Structure 1
Amino acid sequence: MIALIGGSGLTELDGLELSESLVVPTPYGDSSAPLLKGRYAGRDVLFLARHGHPHRIPPHQVNYRANLWALREAGACAVIAVNAVGGIHPAMGSGHLCVPHQLIDYTWGRASTFFDGELEHVTHIDFSHPYDESLRERLCQALHQCGQTFSARGVYACTQGPRLETAAEIIRLERDGCDIVGMTGMPEAALARELELPYACLALVVNPAAGKSTQLISMADIESELGRGMGRVRSVLAALLAAL
């Protein structure tokens, strides 16, 4: 069963034929919201609102470990994450969709591993390629099918938040090779890898990153872009699920 994690702008999955709302106990506390189990595009799915419903949990306080653990326990075999991001690369304008192939983690202080505490042995995971290539290819096929303009590659910079970045920080991220910037890509991707859950990201650019526009970043503009873009995201998710 595919799990869909919705970020900012996707706290509900319109069109989901809900069969069950699940509160799954985990060793790490409560997930951000109950897991919604149902049918979407003719497929059984799990849906989780990353920031809760209503949108209330900031990126640095999301219980990523509980979220991923609960999804696996509920039967998820793979995860598609939807992330709202800022655009750094000139191709990543507002409204653009990106399926990133790499990420750089700039967060700190987050509970970022299941291999913690009193362990019998140390465990390292191979994280050379943080996103599952097969899932990425399926996402790209769904984007093509829906006639969307998108980037099939990109480097996601994950920052701590909840504040937005300074213009100087964006210059640094660009120098590091980053194309988009968000606050929720990590440790989510690494935790999925630790649980052996194939994981891919569909990123919607909702604003130019700091210093990439002459205008100040407005939350009203971000919310407007989210409103315009999430309908396209849902159509892509439906096409992906229908093709599985």
Structure 2
Amino acid sequence: MLGLIAGTGFYNWEALENQQEKQVYTPYGTATVFVGEVAAPAGRKPVVFLPRHAKNHTIPPHKINYRANIWALQSLGVDKIIAVNAVGSLLKEVPPGSIVLVDDFLDFTYGREHTFFTGGEAGLQHTDMTNCYDRNWQEVIAAAADKAGVPLVKDGIYVCVQGPRFETRAEIRAYAKLGGTVSGMTGVPEVTLANELGLKYGSLALVTNFCCGLASAVSDDEVRAVMAQNTAQLAKILLQLVCAY
């Protein structure tokens, strides 16, 4: 089954029909998801929709219960995840409105519950991250975008920061020098936890603005306008992805 994890500005997917809100109880807390169906040429496909900030955007990035969310998706039968992240661009050549297919990450978060393997009864495991954004799944996502007529920036490097504050100019310069493409606050530990449970994870990063120091300050209205544009393009990709799943 396909799981869709949505971020800032994307709290409901109109294509998801017969939605049922479910509280999923896990060893790490409760996760709220919406289970429904999406119409496809081959029949109706089940999809689990999870707004990571909650449907009213009440949970900041450093307070999200990432372990409960990923555990809940697996318990419902999800084996592939498409995650959507609102991000800022670290590069002039990746302007607002771009959609980035993420291939790797740099992690600058701290204090987050970032593993299921905490020792003791939970055991210990060192999970390989070579293919953390599953390459085969990336190819399926890229093909869906191509079929939808939506261009992607490929091989993106996602820099995950702690939040909820934005980055400083010095931090942005450093992240760009390290090879980052975009900066966001929620991609990690989501991707690593999915890998620990053997779930295939892919991410589309929606660029809403340039990071500080690359352009003049952006207004909330401008960010919302770009996000609305990105979400419309994203919806086209998701429909094709469901058809291919």
| TM-score for the superposition, normalised by structure 1 | 0.95
Unaligned runs of 5+ in 1: none
- In 2 relative to 1, CA 76–154 (structure 1 residues): closer, same or farther, beyond 3 Å? same
Amino acid at match of 2:220: M
CA distance in 1, matches of 2:122, 2:175: 38
Report the equivalent of 1:175. 177
Unaligned runs of 5+ in 2: none
Aligned residue pairs total 241
SS at match of 2:125: coil
CA distance in 2, matches of 1:217, 1:107: 25
Q: How does 1:49-68 map to 2 (within 5 A)?
A: 49-68=51-70
Amino acid at match of 1:127: M
CA RMSD after TM alignment: 1.3
CA distance in 1, matches of 2:159, 2:179: 9
1:38-93 deviations in whole A, cap 9, x for unaligned?
Answer: 11243111000110011111111110000000111111111110011111122210
Report the equivalent of 2:163. 161
Report the equivalent of 1:236. 237
Is the CA contact (8 Å cut-off) linking 1:18 and 1:36 kept in structure 2?
no
CA distance in 2, matches of 1:182, 1:190: 15
Is the CA contact (8 Å cut-off) linking 2:5 and 2:81 kept in structure 1?
yes
1:1-49 deviations in whole A, cap 9, x for unaligned?
Answer: 0000010111111121124322111011122xx2111112431110001
Is the CA contact (8 Å cut-off) linking 1:59 and 1:161 kept in structure 2?
yes
SS at match of 2:50: strand
Is the CA contact (8 Å cut-off) linking 2:160 and 2:186 kept in structure 1?
yes
Amino acid at match of 1:22: K
Are positions 1:40 and 2:41 aligned together?
no
Amino acid at match of 1:143: A
Structure 1, 8-17 or 111-120: larger mean CA deviation: 111-120
Report the equivalent of 1:23. 23
1:97-140 deviations in whole A, cap 9, x for unaligned?
Answer: 11011111010000000011524742110012220111111111
Amino acid at match of 1:158: C
Q: What is the percentage of aligned positions where both structures have the same residue?
A: 38
Amino acid at match of 1:216: A
Structure 1, 14-23 or 233-242: larger mean CA deviation: 14-23
Is the CA contact (8 Å cut-off) linking 2:84 and 2:203 kept in structure 1?
yes
SS at match of 1:79: strand
CA distance in 1, matches of 2:93, 2:147: 21
CA distance in 2, matches of 1:202, 1:141: 13
Is the CA contact (8 Å cut-off) linking 2:9 and 2:227 kept in structure 1?
yes
Are positions 1:218 and 2:219 aligned together?
yes
1:224-244 deviations in whole A, cap 9, x for unaligned?
Answer: 211221011111011111122
SS at match of 1:8: coil
Report the equivalent of 1:5. 5
- From 195, 202, 205, the equivalent of 1:203 is 205
SS at match of 1:217: coil
1:187-209 deviations in whole A, cap 9, x for unaligned?
Answer: 00000000100000011100001
Is the CA contact (8 Å cut-off) linking 1:59 and 1:160 kept in structure 2?
yes
> Cα distance, 1:153 vs. partner?
1.1
